[in-house]
Amino acid sequence: MLHLMQRLATTAPRPSRRSFLKLSAGAAGGLLIGVKLPGSMAQAAEGASAEQMFTPFVRITPDNIVTVLNKHLDMGQGNATGLATLVADELDASPEQVRAEFAPADASKYQNLFFGVQGTGGSTAIANSFEQYRKAGATARAMLVAAAADAWDVSSSEISVKAGTLSHASGKSATFGEMAEAAAKQEVPGEVTLKAPEDWVYIGKGFPRLDVPNKTVGAPNTYGMDVQREDQLVAVLARPRAFGGKVASFNADEARKVTGVVDIFDVPGHGVAVLATSTWPAIKAQGLLEIEWDESGAETRSSGTLFQEYRALADNDGPVFRDDGDAAAQLEGAARVVEETFEFPYLAHGMMEPMVLTIHVEGDRATLWYPAQFQTIDQATAASVLGIPQENVAINTLYGGGSFGRRTSFDAKHIVEAASIAKIWGKSQPIKLVYTREDDTRAGYYRPMGVHKVRAGLDADGNLVAWHHRIVQQSLMTGTAFESVAVKDGIDSTSIEGVEDFSYALANFHGELHSPKVGVPVLWWRSVGHTQTAYVVETMIDRAAEAAKADPVAFRRAHLTRKTGSDTHDADNTRKLGVLDKVVAMSGWDEGAPEERFRGVAVHKSFNTYVAEVAEVSRRDDGTFKVEKVWCAVDCGVAVNPDNVKAQMEGGIGYGLAAILFNEITLTDGHVDQENFDTYRPLRIEDMPEVAVEVIASAAAPTGAGEPGTPPIGPAVANAIRAATGSVPAVLPLSRAGLA
């Protein structure tokens, strides 16, 4: 999700080899296995005592069910299955007996080891848990074996485990369920030996997605929107039309007449809330409210004005984020210079399930039901609004109907809204805050808009010699609790990720960042800064290749092969070449595009995963382009579930495609112009290209898969359009120029 998390990843302590394992008798007399965290992690988890550091991940019950507790939110990216796969492999469980369950909110037990708090993002779910969940599985296995050895009076070493069954050469055998209670009484092994990769039975091969059966039958209580508590009220909030607006006055006479409406009141700073006995009356009443807004302190600029201001800033010097050699001087003397100014719009996440949250406040305790993406922030926020201790906030996590970054924000606005409504209502009654699609589209927390101005210089031999890159983009992190980590000397790492690690061989690089202040709340959006930076870098590389009269792949290879003077960049380039070569082979790049088809390529690293994509497009009679086919090669280290990695690439490509083809959030006098899927056009099945994905075999530590498929699709399509038209679209979305 963000560069910040990568930075935290490099500084956060990893679980040490001396992590010791601990056991307690769990529910129903079964096993609860956890890995105790080393002391340094204990400090990271806010104020947790040593006893609370016990981390339960695995439950085995006498009914022979193995339940894996998922400390992360699964919003479609498949980590519930991924983490269960890690446990099942070491445990030698059978897929049929494995279940996934969301862990409660408790940072002392369930923190993201890269973050130090409980939360999901940055494509880290597998990466931070890879050793932790395998150890939990191995520990459970060792204790089951020890219990069987006791029961059968044989040595542990004589017992084998396969697909959920313990057996001995004498013919004795038992299921996990039969041995669970006895195993719970066994001593916890101080050390467990993890399998060698060649012994993995599921990792790198496959495991059925545990959430899919329920998701094909419309099972109840799956998503946040499905929550139905006894005596529950539904709240719908009418939010200000301009960000920072306030309620001046309102008339709810007509709205109150709607059958089912219970109350309507001002939620200071947030809008006007309608409470009703069910959803439809609340939505209907919201539409009947007459509200006068005070926009005196609001952001009332229009998008056009903002872009003018951004473009003006892009002409001026700004804070420097990278400075190698002397780019300015080398550009003066370059044989060829290519330059461009790019415009990126605000984007909404547009997940299928709008924001939703159910809260029940009882005295000094609160219980929440929703797709919780950043439990620790959410707990603290609810506690703060309600004036109760943080540990008194319980969270029940449900599957997220998508998120793409939307379900967590620094200020946890959705938590603040729901808790504020509950506080004003005052009665101990569950309240479900539902965003309509229109609310969701207009509530802000967008991918930031931005302007990039770039000049690239080549020498007479067609080699890149200089790159000057100026970014104008609103900061995600400034003014948040993460500012001290993520913003250094005025540079927000999320604005420059994907270009500050520019690794094509080049001696002179100069990068600057302006971070204008705008009153529109912005947020990470699937791959955060990378959709903008990958688009700019990879389309400019194509332009440079054209200036050098080189094939785009040949030009990339030349600049990825040459030594850069940086070991980090050389290592990146080796893996970039790996995926580039693979996608070139898959697509038959060297044979050229079929008649009436045009191809473009892009390669990009994000979240430590390397992805190359080739897009093939055709032109319709009206001048718009159809993306016909995409080939994708991905190197994410060990792919725990390769088919799920493929699914994430397919989905990441489709998600990125909608954005570059059609999507923009625009403002008129501060009011968002779009409101629903009629004006914020989603990708539909007829827009979806054929997609072929190959996963590079790798023994490297697993990295992320949820986000890295998205950044390369924009530039790959733009480069294919360049192949057809001779120019790269510099203003997104492509529909603006009649290209989509």
Partner 1 sequence: MIRLNVNGEDREVDVDPDTPLLWVLRDELQMTGTKYGCGIAACGACTVQMDGFPTRSCQTRVSDVEGTKITTIEGVDGKAASAVQAAWREFDVPQCGYCQSGQILAATALLAETPKPTDDDIDAAMSGNVCRCATYHRIRAAIHRASDTMEG
Query: CA–CA separation, 81 vs 76, rounded Å?
Result: 10
- Are 575 and 635 in contact by the 8 Å Cβ rule? The answer is yes
Q: In angstroms, give the least distance from the CB of 571 to partner 1.
A: 31
Which of 92, 650 has the CB closer to partner 1? 650
- Are 659 and 733 in contact by the 8 Å Cβ rule? The answer is yes
Residue 169 near partner 1 by CB under 8 A: no
How many residues make contact with partner 1 (CB under 8 A)? 65
Chain center to CA of 58: 25
Q: Residue type for 665, please?
A: I
Give the residue carrying structure tokens 């979806």. Answer: 688
Residue 43 near partner 1 by CB under 8 A: no
Which of 122, 654 has the CB closer to partner 1? 654
Q: Helix, strand, or coil here: 598?
A: strand
Q: In angstroms, give the least distance from the CB of 481 to partner 1.
A: 28
Q: In angstroms, give the least distance from the CB of 706 to partner 1.
A: 10
- Are 123 and 605 in contact by the 8 Å Cβ rule? The answer is no
Q: Which residues, 6 or more positions from 500, have their beta carbon under 8 angstroms from its beta carbon? A: 321, 322, 493, 511
Site for partner 1 in 137-156 (CB under 8 A): none
Residue 78 near partner 1 by CB under 8 A: yes
Residue 561 near partner 1 by CB under 8 A: no
Angle separating helix axes 125-152 and 176-184, nearest 10 degrees = 90
Site for partner 1 in 243-262 (CB under 8 A): 259
Q: Residue type for 521, please?
A: P
Site for partner 1 in 642-661 (CB under 8 A): 643-644, 647-648, 650-651, 653-655, 657-658
Which of 448, 656 has the CB closer to partner 1? 656
Which of 219, 460 has the CB closer to partner 1? 219
Q: In angstroms, give the least distance from the CB of 236 to partner 1.
A: 12
The binder of partner 1 chosen from 1, 37, 75, 87 (CB under 8 A): 75
The order of strands in the sheet holding 320-324 is: 320-324, 508-514, 464-473, 450-458, 336-344
Piece of the chain touching partner 1 by CB under 8 A; list 2-10, 318-326, 594-602, 670-678: 670-678
Which of 351, 579 has the CB closer to partner 1? 351
Residue 280 near partner 1 by CB under 8 A: yes
Which of 36, 646 has the CB closer to partner 1? 646
Residue 700 near partner 1 by CB under 8 A: no
Where do the DSSP E strands lie in 426-474?
Answer: 431-434, 450-458, 464-473
Q: In angstroms, give the least distance from the CB of 42 to partner 1.
A: 34
Which of 40, 214 has the CB closer to partner 1? 214
Distance set, CA 95 to CA 83, 114, 140, 215, 383 (Å):
13, 28, 16, 18, 39
Concatenating the DSSP letter of every residue in 191-238 gives: --PPPPGGG-SSTTT----TTHHHHTTT-TT-BGGG---TT-EEEEEE
Piece of the chain touching partner 1 by CB under 8 A; list 238-246, 319-327, 571-579, 684-692: 684-692
Piece of the chain touching partner 1 by CB under 8 A; list 52-60, 124-132, 265-273, 279-287: 279-287
Site for partner 1 in 213-232 (CB under 8 A): 213-223, 225-226, 228
Name the helix (H) or strand (E) containing 394: strand 393-397
Site for partner 1 in 427-486 (CB under 8 A): 436-438
Piece of the chain touching partner 1 by CB under 8 A; list 19-27, 156-164, 393-401, 409-417: 393-401
Site for partner 1 in 342-371 (CB under 8 A): 350-354
Query: CA–CA separation, 504 vs 687, rounded Å?
Result: 33
Which of 224, 457 has the CB closer to partner 1? 224
Residue 266 near partner 1 by CB under 8 A: no
Which of 225, 334 has the CB closer to partner 1? 225
- Are 141 and 199 in contact by the 8 Å Cβ rule? The answer is no
Residue 80 near partner 1 by CB under 8 A: no
Q: Residue type for 464, please?
A: L
The binder of partner 1 chosen from 71, 72, 209, 455 (CB under 8 A): 209
Query: CA–CA separation, 346 vs 667, rounded Å?
Result: 9
* Dihedral (CA of 34, 39, 45, 48) sign: positive
Q: In angstroms, give the least distance from the CB of 563 to partner 1.
A: 39
DSSP collapsed to 3 states, 494-545: HHHCCCCCCCCCCCEEEEEEECCCCCCCECCCCCCCHHHHHHHHHHHHHHHH
Which of 440, 497 has the CB closer to partner 1? 440
Residue 731 near partner 1 by CB under 8 A: no
Distance set, CA 94 to CA 74, 165, 421, 475 (Å):
22, 8, 46, 47
Residue 685 near partner 1 by CB under 8 A: yes
Which of 581, 643 has the CB closer to partner 1? 643
Residue 268 near partner 1 by CB under 8 A: no
In this structure, the chain runs to a length of: 740
State the binding string over 400-419 for partner 1 (x if CB under 8 A, else -): xxxxx---------------
Bridge pairing between strands 21-25 and 31-35: antiparallel
- Are 30 and 184 in contact by the 8 Å Cβ rule? The answer is yes
Residue 278 near partner 1 by CB under 8 A: yes
Among 351, 353, 409, smallest CA distance to 377 is for 409
Which of 321, 445 has the CB closer to partner 1? 445
Residue 189 near partner 1 by CB under 8 A: no
Residue 678 near partner 1 by CB under 8 A: yes
Summarize as ranges the residues that interact with partner 1 (CB under 8 A). Answer: 75-78, 208-209, 211-223, 225-226, 228, 234, 259, 278-281, 283, 350-354, 399-404, 436-438, 643-644, 647-648, 650-651, 653-655, 657-658, 676-678, 682-686, 688, 690-691
